[in-house]
């Protein structure tokens, strides 16, 4: 599961869901045949030319500090998104641990140093990292302080909120690793790929209304995304309307109710793949109160994207956008 950086409420919810369902490492039931699978592969694509860090460097951290990085030999990125960037820059062989949300294939065998989204400072420090990368939403604060107090360089990167954050996050990570040229190359590649997807979006007089639902059936978590959910930028880039945001939901998430769904009136529903599996596929999703009464529920029009990439806003976001576009418009091309 990917967060953007995610708003605080969703972070807490995901932590609960991960604990209850074992997402990120446990087994989950297969999705119903009616559900469309994500188009994004579970691998990252490193740059063709290996990056070679030039250190030491001193960089700004999102917590207001200046951090000097002397070595990138043992890197611990504390989010799936940051791990994705490090691996794509070509430095995956230097990563010694992962966050539970780093679910892509190249990171699968690394030890996990978080439980849900809580960092274990002891686990991190036991691996003797020379650089820890965190997001502004990474916590708990005590764990971050413990890592920093142990003398480990710790650089905080602003949490991602939308597509405009992709390039700056790549730049921030590349700067901390001493590979700014590789960062520029990756930023340009990512931008080009996003632009290529945008060019293929069909023109429609009526933009589809899409509601982002965060669901975890075994944890009884059913939420409707609003303006701060992290999905709005992707939906709008795909030529769609964020139905929750458009219906007036200004915060990140609100519990799903029949009234809220009726107000949103989505033509399609966006869910994370494991969330869809957790409720029993499309058949189970439409049983959530209010879903079947929406145009999306009546048409069983459900779009699913892998948890590990949906809200990462990183090097694979073009694949996420392409998957959204394909699932929303593919049959109508």
- Cβ atoms of 83 and 91 within 8 Å: the answer is no
Cα dihedral 76, 79, 82, 87 sign: positive
Pairing of strands 241-242, 209-216: parallel
Q: What is the pLDDT of residue 17?
A: 42
Query: What average pLDDT score do residues 245-249 get?
Result: 96
Confidence of residue 331 (pLDDT cuts 50, 70, 90): low
Q: Is 33 left (phi over 0), alpha (psi -120 to 50) or beta?
A: alpha
Query: What average pLDDT score do residues 22-28 get?
Result: 32
Confidence of residue 169 (pLDDT cuts 50, 70, 90): very high
Segment 209-225, tens digit of pLDDT: 999 999 999 899 999 99
Query: What average pLDDT score do residues 152-161 get?
Result: 95
What does pTM read for this prediction? 0.85
Confidence of residue 2 (pLDDT cuts 50, 70, 90): very low
What are the structure tokens assigned to 82, written together? 């940051």
- Which of 161, 156, 129, 127 is closest to 144 using CA atoms? 156
Percent of the chain with pLDDT over 90: 79
- Which of 154, 278, 270 is closest to 212 using CA atoms? 270
What is the distance between the alpha carbons of residues 58 and 69, in angstroms, rounded to a whole number? 6
Confidence of residue 19 (pLDDT cuts 50, 70, 90): very low
Q: What is the pLDDT of residue 4?
A: 38
More confident residue, 243 or 29: 243
Cα dihedral 170, 40, 312, 270 sign: positive
Is the predicted pLDDT of residue 182 greater than 70, yes or no?
yes
What is the distance between the alpha carbons of residues 91 and 57, in angstroms, rounded to a whole number? 17
Q: What is the pLDDT of residue 268?
A: 98
**Strands of 217-319, DSSP E:** 221-225, 241-242, 253-255, 268-272, 302-305
Q: Is 149 left (phi over 0), alpha (psi -120 to 50) or beta?
A: alpha
């Amino acid at each position: 599961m990917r967060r953007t950086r995610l708003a605080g409420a969703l972070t807490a919810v995901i932590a609960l869901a991960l604990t209850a369902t074992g997402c990120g490492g446990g087994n989950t039931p297969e999705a119903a045949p009616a559900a469309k699978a994500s188009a994004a592969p579970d691998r990252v694509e490193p740059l063709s030319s290996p990056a070679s860090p030039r250190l030491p460097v001193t960089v700004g951290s999102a917590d207001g500090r200046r951090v000097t990085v002397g070595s990138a030999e043992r890197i611990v990125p504390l989010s799936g998104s940051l791990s994705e960037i490090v691996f794509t820059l070509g430095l995956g062989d230097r990563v010694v641990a992962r966050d539970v949300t780093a679910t892509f294939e190249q990171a699968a065998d690394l030890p996990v140093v978080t439980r849900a989204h809580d960092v274990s400072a002891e686990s991190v420090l036991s691996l003797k990292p020379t650089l820890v990368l965190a997001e502004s939403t990474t916590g708990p604060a005590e764990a971050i302080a413990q890592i920093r107090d142990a003398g480990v360089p710790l650089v905080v990167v602003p949490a991602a909120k939308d597509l405009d954050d992709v390039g700056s996050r790549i730049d921030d990570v590349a700067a901390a690793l001493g590979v700014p040229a590789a960062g520029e190359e990756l930023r340009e590649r990512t931008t080009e790929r996003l632009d290529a997807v945008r060019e293929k979006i069909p023109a429609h007089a009526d933009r589809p209304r899409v509601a982002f639902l965060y669901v975890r059936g075994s944890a009884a978590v059913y939420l409707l995304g609003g303006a701060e959910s992290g999905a709005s930028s992707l939906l709008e880039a795909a030529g769609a309307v964020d139905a929750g945001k458009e219906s007036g939901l200004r915060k990140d998430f609100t519990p799903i109710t029949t009234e809220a769904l009726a107000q949103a009136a989505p033509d399609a529903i966006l869910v994370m793949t494991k969330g869809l599996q957790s409720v029993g596929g499309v058949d189970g999703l439409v049983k959530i109160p209010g879903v079947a009464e929406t145009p999306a529920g009546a048409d069983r029009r459900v779009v699913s994207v892998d948890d590990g990439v949906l809200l990462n806003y990183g090097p694979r976001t073009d694949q996420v956008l392409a998957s959204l576009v394909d699932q929303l418009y593919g049959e109508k091309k």
